[in-house]
Structures are given as C-alpha cells and as structure tokens.
C-alpha cells in the first residue's frame, strides 16, 4: 500500500520537527522492482529488474497561519510517467505539488492534488488495475475538504489533467488520451462519506468534465468532448481485517474530437473489492477488479483482474511480493479491451 505508506512516512517526519510555529521536512526515497512476466523471453532471462525511481518530498506547515505546502517529485522509469505525453519530455515530474490553508475544520488546496473519487487499490505494480484511471488521479485545480464529525466531504474543480498539455499525470496508466488525441479538463468533483461506526464508512463520488481536442484538426484546440463518472463505496476495519468495496459507472463522449466523429459513447461499469489482513510487520492483501463494457459494438464484454500480495515493513521501507493476473485491460479511451497478462513482482523501497 505504497500511497498510504508514503503519506505516513512524511507525516512522521513532519511531526518530529522542532519549531512550534512552523514544521517542515525534506525527505526522500528510492524504489525498484523485479518482474517475471508470462512470456518465454523473460522466463529465459529470469525476469527484468526495472522501474527504479528516486523520490524527493518537500513539505511545510506554518501552524500560526495555517498555510501548508506539499510536493512529491519523482525521477526515473519508476516515476510512472510517459515522456511522450507528459510536460517534461522525460521520466520525471511532479506526482503532487499543492499549497493549502486550513480554515477551522476545512482545508483549501490549490495545485496538483488527489482527486477525491472512491478509493485506490493496494497493489502498486502496475497500479490500479481495471479501475483504469479512476483511482490514483492527481489533477491540477482547487479543492475544498471538510470534516464535520461523522460526515466529511470534498468539493473540487480541476482545470486540467496535469501541467501544460500533459495527459500523463503519473500512475494513471495512460488511460486519459494523449498529446495527439485529447486531454481531460474542466472537471468538477463532489465526494462525501459518512462514518457508520468506528473505522467504517460509506461514501459516494461524482465527477463531470470536458475533453480538449489535441489532434490538431482544429488549431484552437476546442473543448468538445465530455466525461463523467460516479462511484459508491464502503471501507471498514475489523481488528486486523480490512474490507473495501466499490461500484463505479463511467462514460466518455469523444464525438467532436478530431477523427473520432461517429464513435459511440464509451460506457462501462467497474467493480472492486479489496481484502487486507495485518499481522505485525506483514500486510496480506487481495485486490479484485472487474470492468464490464456497456459500449455499443464492444465485443470484449468484460475483464477481470486479481492481485494478491504481501508487504513487509523492515523499518526504513517495505518489501512487496505481488502476483497480478488480468484477462483484459482498459484502453486510453476508457474502453474495455482484450488482453492476457500474468506477472510476479518483487519490489523494494527505502525512505530517508
């Protein structure tokens, strides 16, 4: 559960800062991965060691004024960003970078931050599986979050998917077009959750936005396409056992995008269940995701993904052993596509 682990590591460092008025931290990390894939070449070579990344975190909180800053910069192929479609043209960029301020029980964030939409899977290699671009979303805009006791909510407007004309926000797996097709823009998001009991909650999220034509067919790059999605979810912890479930519907209308005239609306349902069990420094988990196409003319139908794994906290970082098995995938336009993929991942990270 790398996303959670990273935030905990940052919080722990920030909490130990000495000044009473302002706390700040500069920290970093490194991770790499070894993978065995289901093809003959990798069986002969005993797999690939790759996806290395150096990560830099800079965080600061001024407790007197309530202003905050949080950023994460990644360098290396393990940054999970596509040079052909990002804003740097290389394997580095900001996973997040925002300035925020607290107001009572609420917080305002401006910059690149987490899109409040459902929850993300535990496994990190290669990512959110068949949630396909609707899990670890980090977009650029403004977000208001508030905690009202048993109720917490988010209201956000994300002007663009990433900085510049980038369509690769890191970790989204290339599920939101490209620099030569379209870019996700003008997205409004609502999210709300209610605490049913201690460590149990139900919630719902909705997002709606535009798609900007980047094909070059129109020099003005008009905002002609649309996208929307909704999800209902549950999260619960029972002693060492964790349970999460969500049901999502998505729709993407590409009509008007250059070269896409006449294409049907891309529609599908996504389902996800995650079970975790903690035992000391070990966390055992199973992610299951499913995508079922409702797009007219799509002959694939549905796809399933299983991702069982275990992580071990050895102190400064984690070791992960994960197996991923998919019989389909999610394409760049959000459609369910055919596929057959199996891989075993051994991952190590270290934070300082």
The enclosing domain of 137 has a CATH number of: 2.40.160.10
Task: Give the pLDDT confidence score for residue 38 in this predicted structure.
Answer: 79
Decide: 151 and 192 in contact? Cβ < 8 Å: yes
- Kindly indicate the confidence band of residue 169, based on its pLDDT and cuts at 50, 70 and 90: confident
pLDDT at residue number 293:
95
Position 285 in a domain:
yes
Rounded Cα distance, 19 and 62, in Å: 10
| Band of pLDDT at residue 34, cut at 50, 70 and 90 | very high
pLDDT at residue 11, as a whole number: 31
Residue 345 has φ and ψ, to the nearest 5°, of -115, 135
Say if 195 falls within a structural domain: yes
Q: Name the pLDDT band for 22 (thresholds 50, 70, 90).
A: low
Give the per-residue pLDDT at 15. Answer: 34
| 76 within domain boundaries | no
* pLDDT at 4 exceeding the cut of 60: no
Q: Kindly state whether residue 90 falls inside one of the protein's structural domains.
A: no
Answer whether residue 146 shows pLDDT above 80.
yes
Examine residue 226 and state whether it is found in any structural domain, yes or no: yes
pLDDT score of 125: 74
For the stretch 2-19, what's the b/e string if a residue is b when 16 or more beta carbons lie within 10 angstroms of its beta carbon? bbebbeebbeebbeeeee
- Other Cβ atoms less than 10 A from the Cβ of 130: the count is 28
- At residue 264 the predicted structure's pLDDT band, cuts being 50, 70 and 90, is confident
Q: Say if 146 falls within a structural domain.
A: yes
- Torsion angle of alpha carbons 93, 211, 142, 8, nearest 10°? -50
- Selected residue with higher pLDDT from 1 and 81: 81
pLDDT of residue 44: 59
Range of the domain at 234: 96-351
Q: What's the mean pLDDT in 54-60? A: 97
Mean pLDDT value of segment 296-311:
93
For 33, residues 6+ apart whose C-beta sits below 8 A from its C-beta are 49, 50, 51, 52, 78, 125, 345, 346, 347, 348
Query: Residue 39: which pLDDT band, with cuts at 50, 70 and 90?
Result: low
* Residues with Cβ within 8 Å of residue 140, at least 6 apart in sequence: 111, 112, 158, 159, 160, 161, 162, 163
What are the structure tokens assigned to 45, written together? 């070579």
- Please state the rounded mean pLDDT for residues 110-124: 93
Mean pLDDT, rounded, for 63-76:
94
Confidence check: pLDDT of 172 > 80? no
Through-space distance between the first and last CA atoms of the chain, rounded to whole angstroms:
18
Confidence of residue 166 (pLDDT cuts 50, 70, 90): very high
Q: Is 114's pLDDT higher than 80?
A: yes
pTM of the entire structure?
0.89
Structurally, how many domains does the chain consist of?
Answer: 1
Average pLDDT, the chain: 89
Q: Which residues lie below 8 Å from residue 86, measured CB to CB, with a gap of 6+?
A: 93, 162, 166, 168
- Greater confidence, 261 or 13? 261
Average pLDDT over residues 273-293: 97
Q: For residues 303 and 291, is the Cβ–Cβ distance under 8 A?
A: yes
**CA nearest neighbour of 184 among 249, 102, 252, 125:** 252
Is the per-residue pLDDT at 1 higher than 50?
no
In a domain, 40, yes or no: no
Is residue 133 over pLDDT 80? yes
Answer whether residue 259 shows pLDDT above 90.
Answer: no
In the predicted structure, residue 196 carries a pLDDT above the cut 60? yes
Residue 171 within a domain: yes
């Amino acid at each position: 559960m790398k996303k959670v682990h990273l935030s905990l590591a940052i919080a722990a460092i920030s909490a130990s800062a000495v000044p009473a008025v302002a706390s700040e931290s500069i920290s970093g990390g490194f991770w790499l991965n070894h993978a065995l894939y289901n093809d003959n070449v990798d069986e002969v070579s005993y797999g690939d060691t790759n996806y290395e990344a150096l990560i830099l975190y800079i965080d600061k909180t001024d407790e007197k004024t309530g202003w905050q800053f949080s950023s994460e910069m990644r360098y290396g192929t393990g940054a999970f960003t596509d040079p052909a479609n990002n804003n740097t043209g290389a394997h580095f960029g900001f996973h997040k970078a925002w300035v925020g301020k607290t107001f009572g029980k609420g917080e305002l964030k401006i910059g690149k931050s987490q899109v409040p939409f459902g929850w993300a899977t535990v496994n990190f290699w290669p990512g959110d599986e068949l949630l396909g671009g609707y899990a670890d979303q980090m977009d650029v805009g403004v977000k208001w979050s508030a905690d009202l006791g048993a109720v917490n909510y988010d209201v956000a407007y994300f002007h663009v998917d990433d900085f510049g004309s980038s369509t690769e926000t890191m970790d989204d797996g290339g599920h939101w077009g490209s620099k030569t097709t379209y870019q996700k823009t003008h997205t409004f998001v609502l999210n709300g959750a209610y605490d049913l009991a201690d460590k149990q909650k139900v919630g719902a999220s909705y997002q709606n936005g535009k798609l900007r034509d980047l094909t070059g067919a129109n020099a003005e790059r008009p905002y002609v396409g649309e996208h929307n999605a909704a999800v209902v979810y549950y999260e619960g912890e029972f002693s060492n056992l964790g349970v999460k479930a969500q049901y999502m519907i998505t729709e993407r209308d590409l009509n008007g995008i250059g070269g896409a005239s006449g294409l049907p609306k891309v529609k599908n349902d996504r389902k996800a269940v995650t079970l975790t069990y903690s035992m000391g420094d070990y966390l055992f988990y199973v992610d299951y995701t499913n995508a079922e196409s409702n797009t007219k003319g799509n002959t694939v139908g549905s796809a399933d993904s299983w991702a069982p794994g275990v992580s071990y906290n050895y102190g400064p970082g984690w070791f992960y052993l994960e197996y991923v098995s998919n019989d389909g995938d999610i394409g760049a336009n959000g459609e369910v596509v055919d596929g057959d993929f199996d891989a075993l991942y051994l991952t190590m990270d270290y934070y300082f």
